Amino acid sequence: MTDASDNSPVSRPSASEPSTVSGVTRRGVLDAVAVLGSIAIVGRATPLAAAPAVSERSWKQLAQTLSGPLLRPDDAAFRAAARPNNLAYDDRLPAGIARCRTAEDVQAAVLWCRENEVGFVTRAGGYSYAGHSMTRGLLIDVGGLNTVAFDKQTGRVSVGAGVTHRELFAALSRREVSVIHGRVYGIGVGGFTLGGGLGYDARLHGVGSDRLVETDIVGADGKIRTASAKNQTDLFWACRGGGGGNFGINTQFVLDTFAVADITTFDITWSDRPEAVADALLKALAKAPDRLGSKMRLRSVTPENRPEQRSVHVRLTGQLHGPREELLDILAPVFAVGPALKRTIRNGPYWENQRLVAEQRAPDRYRGRSRFVAKDFDAPALDAAFRQARRFPGTGGEASLKLLQTGEAINAVRPEDTAFVHRGSRWLLMTTFSYRGSDSRRTVAAAGDWLDETYEVMLPYCGKGAFQNMSDPALDDCYEQYYGANLARLREIKAAVDPDGVFRFGQSIPGAR
Ligand SMILES: Cc1cc2nc3c(=O)[nH]c(=O)nc-3n(C[C@H](O)[C@H](O)[C@H](O)COP(=O)(O)OP(=O)(O)OC[C@H]3O[C@@H](n4cnc5c(N)ncnc54)[C@H](O)[C@@H]3O)c2cc1C
């Protein structure tokens, strides 16, 4: 039964609950973890006054200091500006939104929060899976820092903290260069890069953070530092995969581009003999050159309460730096198994072709869990994945098990060279489901149970490590899974650059003990 009044996420993601860090008590971690509920905390031991206790005079002072607008709950633009992409977290409204236009605005906002003991988080694109850019305190929105500048001499592109993929694509569309990027227009390039950044070109050119050469970052003391291979080297190391929101507010990113020419993009769906198709596809992809980047989805669509209508389709999207004929050769064994239900394959200039694989992704409610896969995704793994896809109980949305192909250039960097530790995988397995606000509490809870069960069932076929860009509040050991052997160094850097722990959210890295 559908209860339209009940739209809260049922298996309430436990981002606010303590996760364990080796050697640290749950209580200790709780102290270090931002409470995403009703209390905003800044400072090591001082629970801050809830932001509404801040005087109107202080709010006014902040408004006067910023060059961009300060939005308060009564402002007409407030509600839309507060909305995250994952509407499961839309009930956690901030006390104010500082819409920063300059790095100085960001500095002023951080210093104001410290002075007034108001908790805060940073927001760029707003696509955090786990609502990490939501707060009851001040939302520091860097969306106004949205310039993109390409330097022909160095081949580098300078990207403001608020630049989304839409703006990046538009700025580079007339040039034959690219950086590692995702496909969703609204995602912040900075948020994407700070957590590693996996795109279709990563097998050829490494993860997004491998191509970061410099970043400006506002620290806990309100100062701006430039971190690179020469300056602030620890901070730079941490910004290359350590995850957004942990070490400061990055205001600018300089990224190394690579040359691009014509490519072949593809979006192909098979509905007949999906198991045999997926098996042939995995074998074909395993032999494919690093010029091919792809994601295979086992997509389960089950209308609510209609399990008899459940179906699993295999969908492959991606791109090949090579001609259409080469792609057809690679996929020939798959087409031999069964004809595609839908097939779009297009060859043309790089940026024009991105339109085929890019997505709008309007705000929605969703959950996802990930795990890197260190070996072949073999027949038993595929059987288990199909079994789970067929068990999805159904929501008003849909569910998928997705395999993003990794390896090659991603694994050519040593795990300790940057904070992005995941350097030995072949695939990233991501299981997701979406639901509607009109889905009943029970429906959403059943889908959440399915997600957790799928995660457990698939664990034996995976390796270590979860993707920090796909923040997963249900992970008990999130720090080990996101950062592995790099966690100790990240904690030391956190303690050094943010001794009072002002940059906090549900899974922020705790400082060293
Ligand atoms: C539909 C969907 C598809 C995705 N696809 C991919 C993909 O293909 N590859 C991939 O790698 N990831 C992907 N992601 C994950 C995405 O890259 C991360 O969630 C990323 O952190 C989002 O950045 P954002 O700026 O849009 O989000 P926000 O919610 O604004 O920020 C995410 C986190 O980064 C922090 N942050 C943002 N900007 C800054 C900054 N300037 N300085 C400091 N901290 C900052 C925020 O405080 C928050 O903790 C996807 C996510 C979704 C929901």
Atom of ligand 1 nearest to the CA of 145: 41
Do 211 and 278 fall into the same domain? Answer: no
Q: Name the packing angle between helices 274-286 and 324-337 (round to 10°).
A: 140
Atom of ligand 1 nearest to the CA of 162: 41
Atom of ligand 1 nearest to the CA of 183: 8
Do 154 and 99 fall into the same domain? Answer: no
CA dihedral 418, 420, 425, 427 (to 10 degrees): -140
Write the pLDDT tens digit of every residue in 418-472. 999 999 999 999 999 999 999 999 999 999 999 999 999 999 999 999 999 999 9
Find the DSSP H helices in 358-440.
Answer: 379-391
Q: Containing H/E element for 455?
A: helix 441-458
Amino acid 304: pLDDT: 59
User: Cα of 467 to ligand 1 centre, how many Å?
Assistant: 12
CA distance 481 to 300: 27
User: Cα of 115 to ligand 1 centre, how many Å?
Assistant: 28
pLDDT surpasses 60 at 21: no
Write the pLDDT tens digit of every residue in 321-342. 999 999 999 999 999 998 999 9
Amino acid 493: pLDDT: 98
Which residue type, as a one-letter code, is found at position 154?
T
Which residues lie closer than 8 Å to 111 by C-beta, 6 or more apart? 222
CA-angle at 307, arms to 302 and 312, nearest 5°: 50
Q: Which of 159, 158, 217 is nearest to 188 (CA)?
A: 159
Domain assignment present for 409: yes
Confidence of residue 302 (pLDDT cuts 50, 70, 90): low
pLDDT surpasses 70 at 502: yes
CATH number at residue 172: 3.30.465.10
Domain assignment present for 153: yes
Write the pLDDT tens digit of every residue in 49-60. 345 589 999 999
Domain boundary among 259, 282, 297: 259
User: Cα of 127 to ligand 1 centre, how many Å?
Assistant: 5
Atom of ligand 1 nearest to the CA of 217: 42
Probe target for ligand 1 pocket from 187, 214, 254, with the most ligand atoms within 8 Å of CB? 187
How high does pLDDT run on average in the chain? 89
User: Cα of 129 to ligand 1 centre, how many Å?
Assistant: 8
User: Cα of 71 to ligand 1 centre, how many Å?
Assistant: 22
The first and second tokens of residue 83, run together, are 């909305």
Amino acid 52: pLDDT: 57
Probe target for ligand 1 pocket from 218, 235, 469, with the most ligand atoms within 8 Å of CB? 469
Domain assignment present for 497: no
Probe target for ligand 1 pocket from 87, 120, 127, 425, with the most ligand atoms within 8 Å of CB? 127
What's phi and psi for 316, nearest 5 deg?
-120, 125
User: Cα of 84 to ligand 1 centre, how many Å?
Assistant: 11
User: Cα of 335 to ligand 1 centre, how many Å?
Assistant: 35
Do 131 and 175 fall into the same domain? Answer: no
Amino acid 13: pLDDT: 31
Domain boundary among 109, 141, 173: 141
Percentage with pLDDT > 70 across the chain: 88
Amino acid 48: pLDDT: 37
Write the pLDDT tens digit of every residue in 139-154. 999 999 999 999 999 9
- Which residues in 255-277 are b (16+ Cβ under 10 Å) and which e? bbbbebeebbbbbbbbbeebbeb
The first and second tokens of residue 28, run together, are 């200790």
DSSP-derived secondary structure letter, 12: -
Do 101 and 159 fall into the same domain? Answer: no
User: Cα of 125 to ligand 1 centre, how many Å?
Assistant: 7
Domain assignment present for 483: no
Q: Strand, helix or coil at 59? A: helix
Write the pLDDT tens digit of every residue in 92-133. 899 999 999 999 999 999 999 999 999 999 999 999 999 999
Confidence of residue 44 (pLDDT cuts 50, 70, 90): very low
Amino acid 53: pLDDT: 83
Which residues lie closer than 8 Å to 33 by C-beta, 6 or more apart? 16, 18, 19, 504, 506, 507, 508, 510
The first and second tokens of residue 244, run together, are 């957004």
Confidence of residue 309 (pLDDT cuts 50, 70, 90): confident
Q: Tell me what the mean pLDDT of segment 495-506 comes to.
A: 96
User: Cα of 442 to ligand 1 centre, how many Å?
Assistant: 29
Domain assignment present for 29: no
Query: Looking at 30-44, 191-205, 260-274, which range is the least confident one?
Result: 30-44
User: Cα of 146 to ligand 1 centre, how many Å?
Assistant: 16
Q: Containing H/E element for 237?
A: helix 233-239
Is the pTM of the predicted complex or chain greater than 0.85? yes
Do 285 and 409 fall into the same domain? Answer: yes
Q: Tell me what the mean pLDDT of segment 239-265 comes to.
A: 98
Q: Which of 229, 184, 144 is nearest to 418 (CA)?
A: 229
Probe target for ligand 1 pocket from 99, 101, 123, with the most ligand atoms within 8 Å of CB? 123
CA 141 to each of CA 174, 310, 435: distance values in angstroms, whole numbers, following the listed order: 29, 41, 27
CA distance 172 to 450: 41
Do 275 and 403 fall into the same domain? Answer: yes
Do 128 and 252 fall into the same domain? Answer: no
CATH number at residue 351: 3.40.462.20
Do 314 and 408 fall into the same domain? Answer: yes
Domain assignment present for 477: no
Domain assignment present for 432: yes
CA distance 9 to 395: 13
Domain count, the chain: 3
Closest residue by CA, ligand 1 atom 37 = 191
Strands 258-259 and 249-256, by their bridges, are unpaired
**Length of the chain in residues, anyone?**
513
Do 122 and 61 fall into the same domain? Answer: yes
Domain assignment present for 15: no
Q: Tell me what the mean pLDDT of segment 180-205 comes to.
A: 98
Amino acid 311: pLDDT: 84
Do 130 and 233 fall into the same domain? Answer: no
Do 96 and 197 fall into the same domain? Answer: no
Q: Is residue 329 within 8 Å of 439, Cβ to Cβ?
A: no
Domain of 48 in residue numbering reads as 34-141
Atom of ligand 1 nearest to the CA of 245: 44
Ligand 1: residues with CB < 6 A are 85, 121-129, 132-133, 142, 161, 182-184, 187-188, 190-192, 194-199, 244-245, 249-250, 361, 469-470, 505
